[in-house]
Amino acid sequence: MKTDSIQNRTARALGNLAMEPESCGDIHCAGAVPLLVESLTACQDSQCLQSVLCGEAGEEEEEGREAASWDFPEERTPERAQGGSFRSLRSWLISEGYATGPDDISPDWSPEQCPPEPMEPASPAPTPTSLRAPRTQRTPGRSPAAAIEEPWGREGPALLLLSRFSQAPDPSGALVTGPALYGLLTYVTGAPGPPSPRALRILSRLTCNPACLEAFVRSYGAALLRAWLVLGVAPDDWPAPRARPTLHSRHRELGERLLQNLTVQAESPFGVGALTHLLLSGSPEDRVACALTLPFICRKPSLWRRLLLEQGGLRLLLAALTRPAPHPLFLFFAADSLSCLQDLVSPTVSPAVPQAVPMDLDSPSPCLYEPLLGPAPVPAPDLHFLLDSGLQLPAQRAASATASPFFRALLSGSFAEAQMDLVPLRGLSPGAAWPVLHHLHGCRGCGAALGPVPPPGQPLLGSEAEEALEAAGRFLLPGLEEELEEAVGRIHLGPQGGPESVGEVFRLGRPRLAAHCARWTLGSEQCPRKRGLALVGLVEAAGEEAGPLTEALLAVVMGIELGARVPA
Ranked by mean pLDDT, which of 68-82, 165-179, 410-424, 465-479 comes out on top?
Answer: 465-479
Residues 22, 449: Cα–Cα separation, whole Å = 76
How far are the Cα atoms of 8, 192, 334, 412 from residue 38, in angstroms, in the given order?
Answer: 20, 18, 28, 80
Q: What is the pLDDT of residues 67-92, one digit of tens each?
A: 343 333 444 444 444 455 556 666 65
DSSP letter for each residue of 431-454: HHHHHHHHHHTT--SSSGGGTTPP
Chain centre distance of CA 113: 45
Query: Phi then psi for 492, rounded to 5 degrees?
Result: -95, -25
pLDDT at 53 over 70: no
pLDDT value, residue 440? 94
The mean predicted confidence, pLDDT, of the chain is 78
pLDDT at 113 over 50: no
Q: pLDDT above 90 covers what percent of the chain?
A: 49
pLDDT at 127 over 90: no
Chain centre distance of CA 137: 37
Average pLDDT score over residue span 483-492: 94
Q: Which of 503, 432, 413 is nearest to 470 (CA)?
A: 432
Q: What is the pLDDT of residues 142-197, one digit of tens each?
A: 444 334 556 666 777 788 888 888 888 899 888 999 999 999 999 888 866 778 88
Average pLDDT score over residue span 205-231: 96
User: What pairing do the DSSP bridges indicate for beta strands 383-386 and 422-424?
Assistant: parallel
Ranked by mean pLDDT, which of 7-16, 105-114, 364-373 comes out on top?
Answer: 364-373
Residues 382, 399: Cα–Cα separation, whole Å = 11
Q: How many other CB atoms sit within 10 Å of the CB of residue 83?
A: 9
Query: Phi then psi for 392, rounded to 5 degrees?
Result: -110, 125
Q: What domains lie within the chain, and their CATH numbers?
A: 359-558 (3.30.710.10)
* Residue 376: band (very low, low, confident or very high) from pLDDT cuts 50, 70, 90: confident
Angle of helix 249-266 versus helix 197-208 axis, rounded to 10: 20
Q: What is the pLDDT of residues 502-549, one digit of tens each?
A: 999 999 999 999 999 999 999 888 899 999 999 999 999 998 888 899
pLDDT at 25 over 80: no
* Residue 238: band (very low, low, confident or very high) from pLDDT cuts 50, 70, 90: confident
How far are the Cα atoms of 100, 206, 366, 486, 564 from residue 447, in angstroms, in the given order?
Answer: 76, 59, 10, 11, 19
Q: How many other CB atoms sit within 10 Å of the CB of residue 355?
A: 11
Q: What is the pLDDT of residues 275-310, one digit of tens each?
A: 999 999 999 999 999 999 999 999 999 999 999 999
Average pLDDT score over residue span 264-273: 96
Average pLDDT score over residue span 353-368: 56
pLDDT value, residue 132? 35
Q: In what order do the strands lie in the sheet with 422-424?
A: 392-395, 383-386, 422-424
Residues 36, 157: Cα–Cα separation, whole Å = 9
pLDDT value, residue 56? 38
Give the CA angle between residues 71, 73, 79 to the nearest 5°.
Answer: 160
pLDDT at 58 over 60: no
Question: Do the Cβ atoms of 162 and 40 come closer than 8 Å?
Answer: yes
pLDDT value, residue 148? 52
Higher pLDDT, 351 or 532: 532
